[in-house]
Amino acid sequence: MNLCRLVYYSERNMSVALDIAQLIAACHKNNSKTTVTGMLHFNGTHFIQVLEGGRADVSFTYHRIAGDPRHQKILLLSCMDVRERLFPGWSMGLHEGMTDHTRQIYLRYFATEKVDPLQVSVESLLDVMQDLSAEL
Ligand code: FAD
């Protein structure tokens, strides 16, 4: 079965309550059943998430997530077949917050720490996510 990797960017919906611990518990519960793995970064206002797994599992998971009112303005940045997972060990790794070290990681790959998802390359975003996962 082919593996695929999906990357999206979204904005927290401030008018809906968000409990990150509860959210990540649902990720672990559901993703471990389907062998979807990945990484979620929440900087306080925006999410970047990478989902990796079988095509159907990633697709169904993404469509469920895309309908979740806890976030909005979801931009699907990439969905492609891949030979191997970047985040094999995480049913969903969570990196939360924007510390000085997080800023340094952003600045390693981007000209500024403000990421414009319409401008930046997905490869660079994946580099950021891998560096963030190394902090966990
Ligand atoms: P449930 O067991 O029904 O819900 C889990 C908990 O989340 C419950 O306690 C419930 O109160 C709460 N919850 C559910 N929906 C909402 C809502 N709309 N508003 C407020 N609280 C709610 N799901 C995955 O399976 N895998 C993922 O990788 C994943 N990533 C996500 C990333 C983001 C940024 C967001 C916002 C959501 C993500 N979700 C993910 C959650 C997904 O959108 C669904 O809520 C979840 O998959 C529903 O699964 P369930 O029916 O088993 O959860």
68-104 tens-digit pLDDT:
999 999 999 999 999 999 999 989 999 999 999 999 9
Q: 70 CB less than 6 Å from ligand 1?
A: yes
Q: 71 CB less than 6 Å from ligand 1?
A: yes
Q: 41 CB less than 6 Å from ligand 1?
A: no
4-58 tens-digit pLDDT:
999 999 999 999 999 999 999 999 999 999 999 999 999 999 999 999 999 999 9
String of DSSP letters for 43-105? -SSEEEEEEEEEHHHHHHHHHHHHT-TTEEEEEEEEEEEESS-S-TT-SSEEEES--HHHHHH
Mutate to test the pocket of ligand 1, among 10, 22, 23 (most ligand atoms within 8 A of CB): 23
